[in-house]
Structure 1
Amino acid sequence: MDVDLRKLRYFVAVAEELHFGRAAARLHIAQPVLSRQIRALEDELRVRLFDRDRRSTELTAAGRQLLQDAPGVLAAAEGLTRRVRQAAGRTETFTVAFMPGITVTAPVQALLARHPGLAVEVLRVSAEDQTAVVLDGRADVGFVRLPLDRRGLRLRPLFTEPRVAVVPRSHRLAGKTAISVADLADDVLLQDPDVVPEWRDLPHRRPLRPGARPEPPARSVEEKLEYVAAFRGVVVLPLSAATHYTREDVCRLPVEDIAPNQVCLAWDAARDSALIQEFGDLAEASHS
């Protein structure tokens, strides 16, 4: 059985909105058409994907599983299409991925000036998918932050920037002009400790008390800052990422004894085109 990618995209829209009307508006199709496509997908898969009544739409267990798997399938299909077209010499678009806080305007505009017929697109990513979008073909290059899994990638260092601790506005350290990483030893770190090895290697840290809640499963910077504001812990972020989000309930503290963050340009090691190299030169020049 072959799954129709169009129906899969329709399913993702409904699953994310949990509302057929909003999903139909998002997809720019009529709601009855969307309902028929979802029913057809359920018939093809021989499962029910949604429990729906007049008041609500909820995912079934099968629907939750499909929502977990579908984005990867769609991304792989999109990447496949881009790679095949590029192999045939049809470089219609050049997509640049970037992390929050990193500005890519200068090299993008420089590339457009050199190649007026090229459509250059930008794609915002997170720490969780900054390498995946390059490896699966959704982006030609990505501005990434280390550390990351380097397998399958080529990296070109661009610049470094200081990192800061983000704490609640009424935190015991708030108001200090600078701190050391040891000052954070009694706080809960709301990110992978390997990202902040200086904190991880501290000899004395507050152990998690019996019965205490574990660290929240924060993924995006926005989620981390929500937890910081709620006194669930602290985060250490590159300065540009921290200043990208304006909030009155948290504050930034320079950390004197922590290594700066390295930003690199990344691309698939199997693809080393002249256009990628040219953009790398422009990106490096814009940050020199």
Structure 2
Amino acid sequence: METRELRYFVAVAEELHFGRAAVRLGIAQPPLSRAIRQLEHRLGVDLLDRDRRGTALTDAGRVLLGEARAALDAVAAAERRTRRAGSPERPLVLATKAGASHELLQRLLDAAASEPGAAPVEVLLCEVGEQAGLLRAGRADVALMHRPFDDLAGFDTEDLCVEGQVALLPAGHPLASRDQLTMAEVRDVPGLPIARWPRLDGSYPDGPGPEVHTQSQLAQLVALGRTLLVIPASSRAWQWPDHVAVPVVDAPDVTTVIAWPSSSRSLAIASLVRSAADLRKTGAVDPDGPRASHDATVAQLRG
């Protein structure tokens, strides 16, 4: 299969209309129809059901749609990474969730800047859960991510620190005066449901809380007394004066990691990983093995 054929098929599969797909692709409809027929003939399966009522995907077509999207994304990412690798003076792009791990990020940027000959680092701030997509698309070289919340599949990682979580509450709420809370308490606050972030597949968990997908949405809803959220303690960097953060003593710990594509052999990324590993907080990881751990990582990156 050629990438051209995959692009044609994705357009038809998403539009479910050959005329609209042809306009989207900037080609005439007859050659588009022939290309899809030829692709079906080569694969030996029907990808589309065509009748007077319209066009629909077959089971085989639904499989190819998912695979084709992934293949085209991989081709685009390879193109971006290749072009970036051909620019020796380019900065490394580090993706991180806006407001998260602020102190660690600042220390990492300072440490990287102090390394002789190190590549400059450009920070790409994103919303919750977007780092994985930026890495896979080749739009970022490395990312600060959080286990167990972020999608780390296909990436190499280095643990940097472990932290607890806090409940972010409206400042005037009675629970805001507490020294600590439990998960049971924050799950059952009358009139203040927990906000719902999208899962890795884009769907939202069930519950009465509002669906949010940006930090600004969340910040205003908390300030208005419409929701609360349990978040890593370091994410308090973006909280408003109308917010109060209260430790949640039995919330799962969150591990901040630096992540990069497992196929990378970049010396610039290796240098940044070394700087990040040197900044681990005391007690955050095994004190007996941090140097051996990240030296092994750097050796892997160097190939």
Identity of aligned residues (%): 23
CA offset at residue 43 of structure 1?
12
Q: Are residue 93 (structure 1) and residue 91 (structure 2) matched?
A: yes
8 Å CA contact retained: 2:196, 2:210 = no
| 1:279 aligned to which of 272, 296, 301 | 272
Is the Cα contact below 8 Å between 1:78 and 1:138 reproduced in 2? no
Which one of the candidate residues 168, 171, 174 is aligned to 2:170?
168
Number of residue pairs the alignment of both structures matches: 206
1:224 aligns with 218
Aligned 1:21-36 pairs, distance under 5 A: none
TM-score by length of 1: 0.61
Q: Is the 8 A contact 2:77 2:139 kept in 1?
A: yes
Equivalent residues in 2 for 1:157-196 (5 A)? 157-187=159-189, 188-192=193-197
Instruction: Choose from 257, 261, 267 the match for 1:264.
Output: 257
Q: Alignment partner of 1:131: what SS?
A: helix
In the TM superposition, 1:117-266 aligns within 5 A as 118-146=119-147, 147-187=149-189, 188-192=193-197, 214-242=208-236, 244-266=237-259
Unaligned stretches of 5+ residues in structure 2: 5-22, 29-72, 282-303
Q: Moved runs in structure 1, 4+ residues, more than 6 A?
A: 75-78
TM-score (norm 2): 0.58
1:46-57 matches, within 5 Å, as none
Q: Deviations over 1:233-261 (max 9, x none)?
A: 2101111212x124232211111111222
Q: CA deviation at 1:194?
A: 7.8
Distance in 2 between the 1:167 and 1:267 partners?
34
Q: Which amino acid aligns with 1:177?
A: D
The answer on whether the counterparts of 1:144 and 1:264 sit within 8 Å (CA) in structure 2 is: yes
SS at match of 1:143: strand
**For residues 216 and 131 of structure 1, what CA distance do their matches in structure 2 show?**
24
Distance 2:79 2:24 in 1: 26
Question: Where does residue 8 of structure 1 map in the other structure?
Answer: none
Match of 1:173, SS?
A: helix
